[in-house]
Amino acid sequence: MAPESELNLELMKLIDEQYTKTPFYGIRRMTAFLRRKGFAINHKRVERLMGVMGLQAIYPKKRLTRPESSHRVYPYLLAGLEVRNPEQVWCADITYIRLRKGFVSLVAVVDWASRYVLSWKLSLTLEASFCLEALRLALRQGKPEIFNSDQGSQFTSTDFISLLLSHDIAINLNFIFYNRERLHSALGYKTPEEVYYRAKNLSLTGYGTLPRDEEIKLKRA
């Protein structure tokens, strides 16, 4: 097999970095990501490179990445808050560790002010139980005033929320990654924040359609 070109090696490096961050990105989302980086690339090339790298989008079971339909909406508590002290705010996040064959999910509970890792757990699945166990382990060391996480179903499950409330911990759920970074196929592979503010600016200026050159760019993307 012939060695890859310098361009392909650069693309593979970017794909590898983005896949580590968002392993649910399939060929089309990854193509959109690379185009946003300035590469004129089609999905067939991305498909081949991901195949060479042995990468395949990880699609969680139904509803695992969504909040539970019955979960209540909590107010955003961190706006303007200066986090200085340990146990003022804890946070939790799930990341993916790629292995030679497959991946494992890692959840960590971290004290925001000190960046101290209070607990962590590995799992072969995205079920909520390993996140709940990590929270239980962290609570053996203390408790925060506020617990911050994203809106994933692991953190909005009844058991997870109940454990926080039973310790009188305020809950903060946010949409930062969802709004600012995640590319949506239904939005032409743009982020919700881009679409929202673009539409808002058009409304404020009285123009209800995109300029012709931007329409062309969207059609080509």
pTM check: above 0.85: no
Per-residue pLDDT at 79: 74
Interval 21-80: pLDDT, tens = 777 788 999 999 999 999 999 999 999 998 887 777 765 444 444 455 445 666 667 777
Within a 10 A sphere around the Cβ of 27, how many other Cβ atoms? 19
Alpha-carbon separation of residue 18 from 77, 185, 202 (angstroms):
29, 17, 31
pLDDT at 185 over 80: no
Per-residue pLDDT at 214: 40
Q: Where are the beta strands (DSSP E) in the chain?
A: 89-98, 103-111, 117-123, 146-150, 170-174
The DSSP letter of residue 187 is G
CATH class of segment(s) 89-177: alpha beta
Average the pLDDT over each of 48-52, 129-133, 215-219 and give the range with the smallest value. Answer: 215-219
Interval 77-89: pLDDT, tens = 777 788 889 999 9
| C-beta separation of 183 from 96 below 8 A | no
Task: Determine the average pLDDT of the residues in 143-166.
Answer: 89
pLDDT at 221 over 60: no
